[in-house]
Amino acid sequence: MRRALLRLRGAAGMGLTWAIAWGIVGMGVELVSELFPALPLGFIDIWPVTLALPGFLCGAGFSLVLGLAEGKRRFDELSLGRFAAWGAVGGVMVGGLASLVGFPIAVAGVTMLMGAGSASGTLALARRAGDRPAIGSGKG
């Protein structure tokens, strides 16, 4: 039971992290659509929220898929390509669900690419953080 709760907490944390990152991307899209109204981006007026929600779902899905598929492997044992592939799987899952409820199938492609990119960024940050000494360790 404790292990399942830890996995859910990790999935929620990953989902929240990805939601923030995707929301920031959405703010950039929103800024571009406001500065250049002739671009065909104005069909959605709340880009940060529009991208943050699937970002949360993709991050949580990625975390759960990674936990099931890779089991007990540590981040430093996984390749960047493999990590990106699992992120793409999480994105396709969410994009596929969105297409089932009426969104264009292109949504699956966008979430797949953003999922792969987010997974790659997650691994890069985890590896970078792993190189630093722990707080209070007296090193550095």
- Give me the chain's average pLDDT, please: 87
Q: Is residue 43 in a domain? A: yes
SS3 of 89-116: HHHHHHHHHHHHCCCCCHHHHHHHHHHH
Q: Is residue 140 in a domain? A: no
pLDDT in tens, 54-76: 999 999 999 988 988 887 887 77
Q: Is residue 16 in a domain? A: yes
- Retrieve residue 125's tokens: 């940050």
Cα(first)–Cα(last) distance of the chain, in Å? Answer: 38
Residues 82, 88: Cα–Cα separation, whole Å: 10
- Give every CB contact of residue 69 below 8 A, 6+ residues apart in sequence: 86
Q: Is residue 31 in a domain? A: yes
Q: Is residue 64 in a domain? A: yes
Q: What pLDDT is attached to residue 3?
A: 85
Model-level pTM? 0.84
Q: What pLDDT is attached to residue 112?
A: 94
Residues 45, 24: Cα–Cα separation, whole Å: 15
Task: Tell me which residue has tokens 């707080």.
Answer: 135
Q: pLDDT confidence of 105, banded at 50, 70, 90? A: confident
Q: Please tell me the total number of residues recorded for the chain in this structure.
A: 140
Structurally, the chain folds into a number of domains equal to 1
Q: Is residue 135 in a domain? A: no
Q: pLDDT confidence of 21, banded at 50, 70, 90? A: very high
Residues 105, 68: Cα–Cα separation, whole Å: 26
- For residue 80, give its domain range: 2-130
Q: Is residue 84 in a domain? A: yes
Q: Is residue 22 in a domain? A: yes
